[in-house]
Amino acid sequence: MTALAQLLESLRPMLSIGWLAAALAGAGALAGLVADMFDSRKTGIALVALGMAAATVVSLAAALLPLETQISGISSTFAVVLTGAGFAGLASVVYFTAFLSCASGLGTVRENIRVPVAALIAVGAVAGQVLLGADDVLVLFVALELMALIAYALVAAAGTNRSDEAAIRYFVQGSVVTGLAVLGLAVLIGLGGGVSGYGELTAAIGLLAPGAALLGVVLLVSVLAFKVGAFPFHSWVPDAYENAPAGAAAFLSSGAKAAAIGGFTVLFARLLTVDPFLPVAAAVRIMAVASILFGNLAALRQTSVGRMLGYSGIAQVGYALIGLAISPRDTLLFASTYAVAAATAFVALEYFRLAEPGWDGSVAGLAGYGKTHRIAALSLTISLLSLTGMPLMAGFWGKFFVFYAAGSSGLLWLSVVGLIGSVISFGYYGRVIRSLYFDAASAAIVDQDEQGSSASLPNVWPSALGASVIVLTGIAPLLWGLQLVYALFSL
Amino acid sequence: MLTLPALILVPLAGSLIAVFSARRSATAPRVVALIAAVAEAGVAVAALVSMLATSGERLMWVSGGNNAVATSRLVADGLSIPLVLLTALLGIVAVAASWRITDRPGTHHALLLGLEAAVMTVFLAGDLILFYVAWEAVLIPMFFLIGGWGHENRRHAALKFFIYTFAGSVLMLAGIIAVVMTVRSITIGEIGNAIPASTQMWLFWLLAIGMLVKIPVFPLHTWLPDAHVEAPTAGSIMLAGVLLKMGGYGLMRIAIPYAPQGFQSAAPVMAGLGIASIVYGALMALAQTDLKRLVAYSSVAHMGFVVLAISTGTALGYAAAMLGMVSHGLVAGLMFLLVGSLYERTHTREIARFGGLGVTTPRWGGIFVFAALASLGLPGLSGFPGELLAVLEGFGAFGWWMIIVAFGALLGAVYNLTAVRRVVHGEPSTEWTHLSDIAPVDLAAASLLAIGIVVIGVTPGVVMRLTDPVVTVLARALGGGS
Amino acid sequence: MTLFASNPWLAVAVPVFVALVVAVAGKRLVGMTQWFAVLAPVTAGMVGIAGWNSTAGPQSTSWLSQAGTSIETGIAVDGLSAIMLIVVGVVATMVVVFSVGYMAHDESRARYFALLAIFTAAMCLLVMSTSLVTLFIGWELVGACSYLLIGFWYRKASAASAAMKAFLTTRVGDVGMLLGLALLWKATGSLDIAVITGAAPGLAAGTATLAALLLFMGAAGKSAQFPLHIWLPDAMEGPTPVSALIHAATMVAAGVFLIARMWPVFDASEAARTVVLWIGTFTAIFAATVACVQTDIKKVLAYSTISQLGFMFAALGAGAWGAAMFHLVTHAAFKSLLFLGSGSVIHGAKTQDIREMGGLARFMPVTAATWIVGAVALAGIPPLSGFFSKDAVLASVLHASPLAASVLFAASLLTAFYAFRVTSLVFFGKGRGTTVAHESPLSMTAPLVVLAVLAATLGFMGDPIMTALGLEPEILSFAVAGVSVMVAVLGLCSACALYVNGLGQASRLSERFSALHRLLLGGWGVDALVQRVFIAPVIRFAGALYVWLDRLIIDRAVEGVGTGSQFIGRFMANLQSGETDVYASLAAVGFIVLMGIVLWIGR
Amino acid sequence: MTALVLCSLVFGVGLYVVLTRREIIAILAGVELMLGSANILLVALASFAGADGGVIGSVALAVLVVAAAEAAVGLALVVSLARRSKRSRVEELLEVKG
Amino acid sequence: MTLTILAFALSGLLMAGGAAVVALTRDLMRMVIGLGTFLLGVAGMFLFYGQAFLATAQVFVYVGGVLVLFVFAVMVVHRSSGGRPVLESRHDIGAAVIALGVSGMVILSLQDSVGGWLPASASGGAAIATELLGGHLVVFELLGALLLAALVAVLVIVGAGERR
């Protein structure tokens, strides 16, 4: 352990550059694209994944070895993106989900665009790192739009009628929101006198007429709410998650969302700290409750696993919104645990899609996979339990800290709503698990399995990796205390 | 004190080995599981011995040493040790009960041992977080046991079990959050800032609701018959024998100490729930046509006594609750073992189809009669001391309501003896003339439980000597001397 | 003897050990172990004899204790318990010996003897205990043994039902006893009998009465007093020696013993005693009337036992617990004699119906002779034992309530009547049975002879018994004795006159009063009433509760939450209509709503 | 004030176009209306507040670039949809729902 | 002064008129022309507010680029249908209320913050460059990434749509 610590210590100067992770990721993406030009697609994806892996490790190291206890800027001159410990922690999660997504092999994507899709995911992860630490409205806006463009493309990458439809609708809705975003920029930066950093903005909008300031802020909140997929800005979520290629949805549902939650959190922590914005926090709480109820209830009767995960994602965002205005650290922690679990779930689905071409994506169709695809099924189960918030899984800590923070702020009722939502959520997560393990496989599937056992199976290890991360981080705090958690997400 | 972590690690290790041993042969997992369960029992006894050696107060183990800021701690005292021993014993019985499982034996035994580890953790948890974690972790293996190895309606029952008890325990989590944020410590029993009395009024119910669901009391009980009936035998044994005890343990360990004033105002209601459970459970058991369902409802009645005893808030009441829990663990374990063993050979639980089993399977019949007598609270067997004390103390606290309790005890005799008459007595049904008697493994397990039942029944003092120090403290905190 | 005097626990331990040995040895060694089983009651008797004048103090130990509060268990032998121990020891010894012959052909003998031994242990525990808890443990255990022994031939549905009925009916009484314990625990803070009896005079009147009545409820259940007597006639489904031991001599007398043991509590409550007196008196006359028409020899004896126990309770109610104990002892002797005799008859005649018997005296001389001794003792004809004890009872009741005494005299008349009705029908007249009866083996007749001797002579033991109990000896009241003898002889003669030539006259009589006859035959319809008013409704109620409340309301509510939220979920998911413009407008509407909320909150 | 009203109303018209047009390309045009007018509002508000032109310019430029890229992606989606399934109108997109 | 007012009015007219055409015409090509008009109006507005560089960029990027893309897209989409495609709208009150709601909310919230005419402050490309390469370098880089991503995204979208 000490040797490792020394090594990390010697790497400090390099880690201090928050760019390093982004640069590695970007380099991986470019290298992948270059390799793609020479038609070596496997290498291309491997290169992108490698870049993601490197970025994950670097970010994690940066998180564990915080350079300063205070919030640190990306560099001394441009204090527009936060890369302090907690943000590096979340960034490493974003990169990790992107890594899982790429590592799944993206087998459901058509071969000719596989590497570009991977590269898009990589760029998305970079955008995510910027987004989650954005300390500047303009940076936030551009990062959001970058993420949005990538998201549209990822949904459309499935190349089916349904995915086209989902992408178009997503795009139209997103465009309206972009309009709102520009309006928000106009109000905040325009009326704020041309400053865009949160620090100066806080001072500047303090001088504005209350109505104008609130308008700008609410516009931004709406935009971020759309990005995270909170009720009532949620409509795109189920469509997108269901119809995007599962491997790409793995990033879309996890890293992209976690980054948006991060950006949302920073917005609240840095900009909305002044008194006049308390109503905004209250409004977000209402949105949280609505999201939790809507997401959980609407997910109950879904037949498609992806769509169900989409609705459940709405609910999960609701939990994050609980913590948003209360405890940034806990919100980031929750976002991370959610992201890893969601990515693992989708990566497992990607595996099923490839391993069982006959699977129609429905919950009932998973019947018997618990026996035929043990590892992937187990990974999916673990990720779903984590999403439920069961102890021994990472998801428990995420929810626990958020709810604890809410309780400590005198909002125990909010925690209770969230907890009840968790109970409802097992109604649909449990149905998936039930299908996997308790339902007999139909005869056709068994036959297929016997035939297809010799064929090359897709990667199962990314889902296993995700699941082990979930379990390890779920158990570790019990053994070594909670400092580990605090260390990763101290702000 | 490494015995405490060992109590958790031994079954966990056994669980892992069981999974991998399944590749070797189909019978390897059960051997592994049995070894692990016996070793676990050995460790439990070792814990008991070392606790008695250290003047019987308590054992403690802190992860990461004492200097760490936030650590998990394990504590074993008089409240936990009896239940730990019970769990270890039932662990062995459960493995024996699933001796002939052929469907994925590795996973089954691994889940069983994992369940045991989780339950152990509940009883040993020294901080609230660990307590809750273990409390919920118990659901996972149980869910899979019911769903994976249960009977016809297992799919629905597993989900219902999970969601119902999960709903109760998340409210408990809200309560735990409220506790921690007020007392500023997660160590159980460490109360820095006193919780305001007005808060305690709702806090107690928030904490207790999850436990009351687990116990379960009327009218929060409907998950239980479904779960019990559908669960495989080993699952039923653990469910009735150990999982329900978590509720009573939690009340005494968490809910009441943290919200004593809330408890005092809630005690009559809780006692009412307990009394209602006693009568209601007995009546429901009387109405059953399914033998396993009957036993399941009898659990409601028995645990009603535990709730009643706890709600007296006296030292003897607590002791009665502990006795009741240990006893019910043994008796219900035995009952489910017997019903499971019967089901395995007849593939039915329909009471009406049995009859005269005392003639065809005399050993099984004899033990069933014994179990029924134990279940109805016959003195000399384990059920009696707890029920007697519950009535004695309940009379002191709640007066003539005990008339209902006493009649509830009578109803207990009614359904048990009715079951005996319809299953064991009478002319043997032609359907089962060639039924083989109870298997040797089951017989051994049953004898183990029967010995426990007799020992506790004759000398309940052994349990109470263990519980004495901690119960004294807890009862004094409530302001009740006796 | 000193061994037994200083170690009274042997009376419990040895029978338990015997039971274990017999049970473990099982079928293989029955021949040997059944004689070994005699050891159990013999030890009990020895302890009783040794403790007759023993000065050894109680041996007690903490059964359980918590936070300084402790519940003690303990045993001790004093006069009262010594008497009971001897009764138990002697009768049980006789029964075990008798059983060796009676049960010779039964496969489950091992179970039988083990249960007898356990019963002995439990009974000894009951009578020796110094704590109500120990007493209650023994109390329940004898009940359980009774249950298992009544249901010994459990293949017979009637036996199984009778066993259950016996256990449950006595349990009804135990409900009261349990509450009585709780009340005394609350009032005195102890369950130690010495403490409670010491504190009894100081109890509030209401408490004392309630406690006494609750204890009496337990006693009434165990001792088959009206209306909890219904189990005893059915209990005759068990093997006859069991009836002799448990349902005539020992267990059913435990209720009398309990009240004697807790006498100070009853002494403190006039009201409670009055209740006991009248319940006892009524039971005595009621059961006697029913006994007059029964045709099953054991049923007659069963109702007779109920009636005699009624006598004892009447004595208790009148304040003469010594007389009650005296009658208990003599009753134990002659009633177990009668039961064993009936066992011998049944063994020989292969039937229980007295209408099918007749003239058996020729085939079974020993049985007949001893039976007649028992019947005379039961009828209360001097100088046999029944006369003296019944006289003591009647005298005391007369002292307390002349009305009750006159009822008891009537009961005495009926007693003599039914005793000799049976005697005439069974042993005299012409044989009506199909089979040729035979005398029983020695192992069965020897106990009869011993018990006959006891039944004949125990009447003279009145003074020692009273002394042992620490009471003044009874002085024979000649007035009462005269009336009682007259009544008894009247009953005897009328029975002989009516029945010695068979059933002809009697059946004409019963046809004439057929309604009354049916009523009496059915035990005044109490049994049917209980069945209709209590048991059937409870079972129907339970069934209805399960269907309507548990399934239809509670569980439906639980499941309803699930389906309800699914329904809402379906509805919510339908908002997701797939229309692009709706989706786009949701974003704008969301903004407007959010802005509205913010402005509304921030007013 | 005039600029505010003008830009807001044109923004509203853009939104109205998005909500009412059936042809997807027309919807994209509506989006352009929204973005353009919002951009002008930005510049207008900035000059009311006397903001530094450089910052405002770069913000406006960023918006411009974003809008252009978005238009490109949007048109690509439309083209792809049309080429694959011959659909170009929103009422033809009702497959994914529930 | 009047000249500036005139310029403002003209640009505003172009914007409003173009928007109205886009909203109301039933002819696809006319809609594209209306869009062009609007974009020109936007460029005029930039000029009016002293952002000459932006005005230029607007003309180049939009009128020269995006508008052409629109035309291409129209041609590709409606290649088969022949003739000029007819545009349809589902005019309804709800949409109008929502659109007006947003506009109204913006106007009402901002009406206190603006007023009178403005001191136009000119800023050239240099100022923008200074800002973008200085304090907002990250934005510049992100915009670069955005354009690259847009390229790849279009590639992916079109590539996914190809018939197999």
Chains D and E touch (3+ CB pairs under 8 A): yes
User: What sign for the dihedral angle of Cα C114, C118, C123, C128?
Assistant: positive
Q: Give rounded-to-5 percent helix, strand, coil for chain C.
A: 80, 5, 20
Tell me if C578 and D93 make a contact (CB, 8 A cut-off). Answer: yes
Contact C578 D90 (CB under 8 A): no
Q: How confident is the model at residue D88 (pLDDT cuts 50, 70, 90)?
A: confident
- Alpha helix (H) residue ranges in A325-373: 328-355, 369-372
Per-residue b or e along A1-12, where b marks 16 or more CB atoms closer than 10 Å to that residue's CB: eeeeeeeeeeee
- CATH number of D83's domain: 1.10.287.3510
Q: What ipTM score was computed for the predicted complex, to two decimals?
A: 0.87
pLDDT given at position C1: 66
Whole-angstrom Cα distance, residue A276 to residue A284?
14
Q: How far is CA C382 from CA C371, C455, C488, in A?
A: 16, 12, 10
Distance from CA of A478 to the nearest CA of B (A): 6
Asked whether residue A98 carries a pLDDT value surpassing 90, the answer given is yes
C595/E contact by beta carbon, under 8 A: yes
Three-state secondary-structure class, residue B465: helix
Confidence of residue B480 (pLDDT cuts 50, 70, 90): very low
Q: How far is C558 from chain D, CA to nearest CA, in Å?
A: 26
Q: What is the mean pLDDT of residues A284-303?
A: 90
Question: What pLDDT was estimated at residue A79?
Answer: 55
Tens of pLDDT, residue by residue over D64-85, are 899 999 999 999 988 888 888 7
Residue from E92, E98, E103 whose CB has the most chain C CBs within 10 Å, to mutate? E98
- Phi/psi of residue C320, each to 5°? -100, 75
| Whether pLDDT at E44 is above 50 | yes
On whether residue D98 sits in a domain, the answer given is no
Q: What is each CA distance from B64 to B3, B190, C278, in whole angstroms?
A: 16, 19, 75
* Tally of structural domains, chain D: 1
Are E160 and A158 in contact (CB < 8 Å)? yes
Domains of chain E with CATH codes: 1-88 (1.20.120.1200)
Residues spanned by the domain of D49: 2-93
Condensed to tens digits (0 to 9), the pLDDT of residues C5-30 reads: 777 788 888 888 888 888 887 766 66
Residue A178 contacts D, CB cutoff 8 Å? yes
Please report how the helices A412-438 and A278-300 are oriented relative to each other, as an axis angle in degrees rounded to 10: 20
Asked if D97's CB is within 8 angstroms of C580's CB, the reply is no
| pLDDT per position as a tens digit, B113-129 | 999 999 999 998 888 88
Residues of C in contact with D90 (CB under 8 A): 579-581
Residue of D4, D18, D35, D40 to mutate, testing the E interface (most E Cβ within 10 Å of its Cβ): D40
- Buried-state track A391-428, b at ≥16 Cβ within 10 A, e below 16: bbbbbbbbbbbbbbbbbbbebbebbbbbbbbbbbbbbb
- Interchain contact C62–B (C-beta under 8 A): yes
Q: Give the phi and the psi of residue D88 in degrees, each rounded to 5.
A: -140, 5
**Rounded-to-integer distance, Cα A7 and Cα B415, Å:** 71
Q: Please give the pLDDT value at position A69.
A: 38
**Inter-axis angle of helices B105-124 and B128-137, to 10 degrees?**
150
The structural domains of chain A, with segments of one domain joined by +, span 3-489
Residue D13 belongs to a domain: yes
Q: Is the pLDDT of residue A449 over 50?
A: no
Cβ D22–E19 below 8 Å, yes or no?
no
Contacts of A437 in chain B (CB under 8 A): 144, 147-148
- Answer for the pair E80, D86: CB distance below 8 angstroms, yes or no: yes
Lowest mean pLDDT among A307-311, B171-175, B356-360, E17-21: B356-360
pLDDT band at E79 (very low <50, low <70, confident <90, very high): low
CB of E151 within 8 Å of a chain C CB? The answer is: no
The predicted pLDDT at position C433 comes to 62
User: Closest partner residue to C577 among D20, D27, D97, by Cβ?
Assistant: D97
- What are the chain A neighbours of B167 within 8 Å (beta carbons)? 420, 423
Give residue B303's pLDDT. Answer: 92
At A174, is the pLDDT very low, low, confident or very high (cuts 50, 70, 90)?
very high
Can you name the residues that pair with A88 across neighbouring β-strands? none
What is the predicted pLDDT for the residue at C557?
85
Inter-chain CB proximity B283 and C154 less than 8 Å: no
Closest by CA position to A390, among listed A482, A475, A293: A475
Looking at residue B117, its pLDDT comes to 92
pLDDT of residue A382: 93
For residue C587, the distance in angstroms to the closest alpha carbon of chain D comes to 11
Mean pLDDT of A47-63: 86
Contacts for E163 with CB less than 8 Å, ≥ 6 apart: D84
In angstroms, the separation between the Cα of residue E2 and the nearest Cα of chain D is 15
Cβ–Cβ gap C182/B402 under 8 Å: yes
Residues 6+ apart with CB under 8 A from B155: A434, A438, A439, B147
Contacts of C584 in chain E (CB under 8 A): none
Better pLDDT: C232 or D90: C232
Intra-chain end-to-end CA distance of chain A, in Å: 24
CB-CB neighbors (< 8 A) of E137 in chain A: 78
Q: Which residue has the tokens 């800032």?
A: B193
Query: What is the mean predicted confidence (pLDDT) over E12-25?
Result: 88
Separation in Å, CA of E131 to nearest CA in chain D: 6
Backbone φ and ψ for B104, nearest 5 degrees, come out as 45, 60
Which of B136, B149, B195 best tests the A interface by mutation, with the highest count of A CBs <10 A? B136
pLDDT in tens, C571-591: 888 878 778 888 888 888 889
Say yes or no for a CB contact (<8 Å) between C569 and A214: no
C133's tokens: 């808890």
E66 contacts: CB under 8 Å, gap ≥ 6: D32, D68, D71, D72, E39
pLDDT tens, B123-163? Answer: 988 888 888 989 999 999 999 999 888 888 888 888 889 99
Of C62, C144, C174, the CB nearest to B461: C62
Residue D81 in domain: yes
* Cβ–Cβ gap A279/C595 under 8 Å: no
In a domain, D63, yes or no: yes
Query: In the structure encoding, which two tokens stand for residue E18, read together?
Result: 């173009």
Kindly determine whether residue D20 and residue E98, on different chains, have CB atoms separated by under 8 Å: no
Q: In the structure, do chain C and chain E come into contact, i.e. share 3 or more CB pairs under 8 Å?
A: yes
CB of C137 within 8 Å of a chain B CB? The answer is yes
CB atoms within 10 A of CB B197: 13
Q: Is residue B76 helix, strand or coil?
A: strand
Are E102 and C591 an interchain contact pair (Cβ–Cβ within 8 Å)? yes
Q: Please, is B50 exposed, middle or buried when counting C-beta atoms within 10 Å of its C-beta (0-12, 13-18, 19+)? A: middle
For B147, which of A385, A437, A483 is closest by C-beta distance? Answer: A437
- In chain B, where the domains are located: 271-477
E155 touches chain A (CB under 8 A): yes
Q: How far is D24 from chain C (nearest CA, A)?
A: 10
**Residue C319 — left, alpha, or beta (φ > 0 → left; ψ -120 to 50 → alpha)?**
left
The shortest CB-CB distance from A126 to any of E106, E110, E145 is to E145
Beta-carbon contacts of C285 under 8 Å, excluding residues fewer than 6 positions away, are C307, C310, C407, C408, C410, C411, C414
Would the pLDDT of D95 be above 50? yes
Question: pLDDT tens-digit profile of B340-349?
Answer: 888 888 888 8
Q: Do B148 and A420 touch (CB under 8 A)?
A: no
Q: Is A139 in contact with E106 (Cβ distance < 8 A)?
A: no
Please answer yes or no on whether E39 and D32 come within 8 Å at the CB atom. yes
Token pair 């005139």 is found at E6
Closest Cβ opposite residue C542 in set B286, B378, B385: B286
- Tens digits of residue pLDDT in C468-524: 777 777 777 777 788 888 888 888 888 888 777 766 777 777 777 777 777 777 777
Is residue C579 less than 8 Å (CB to CB) from chain D? yes
Contact E160 A163 (CB under 8 A): yes
> Is C306 within 8 Å of C224 (Cβ atoms)?
yes
Which residue stretches of B361-401 are H helix?
Answer: 362-375, 383-398
Q: Which of A45, A80, A142 to mutate to test the interface with E (most CBs of E within 10 A)?
A: A142
A442 — pLDDT class (breaks 50, 70, 90)? low
> CB-side exposure of D37: number of CA atoms within 13 Å?
36
**Contact flag for D and B (3+ C-beta pairs < 8 Å):** no
**Which pLDDT tens digit goes with each residue over A197-242?**
888 888 887 777 778 888 888 999 999 999 999 988 888 899 899 9
Taking the model in full, what pTM does it have? 0.89
Instruction: Confirm whether D60 is domain-assigned.
Output: yes
* Assigned domain for D12 exists: yes
The candidate with the shortest Cα–Cα distance to C7, out of C53, C36, C35, C43, is C43
- The span from the CA of B456 to the CA of B326, in Å, is 9
The predicted pLDDT at position A272 comes to 77
CB contact under 8 A, C584 and D19: yes
Q: What does the pLDDT look like over E80-128, one tens digit per residue?
A: 555 566 677 777 888 888 889 889 888 888 887 776 555 555 666 677 7
* pLDDT tens per residue, range E125-147: 677 777 777 677 778 888 888 99
- Work out the pLDDT band at A292, boundaries 50, 70, 90: very high
pLDDT above 80 (res A77): no
Give the minimum alpha-carbon distance from C579 to chain E in angstroms, rounded to a whole number: 12
Q: What is the mean pLDDT of residues A362-371?
A: 86
Q: What pLDDT sits at residue C236? A: 86
pLDDT given for residue A485 in this prediction: 61
Token duo for residue A26 = 């970007």
Q: How far is CA C291 from the centre of its chain?
A: 18
Nearest CA to CA, how far is A402 from chain B (Å)? 11
Contact residues on chain D for E116, CB-CB shorter than 8 A: 1
Q: State the nearest Cα–Cα gap between A107 and chain C, in angstroms.
A: 28
Q: Tell me, what's the pLDDT at B331?
A: 93
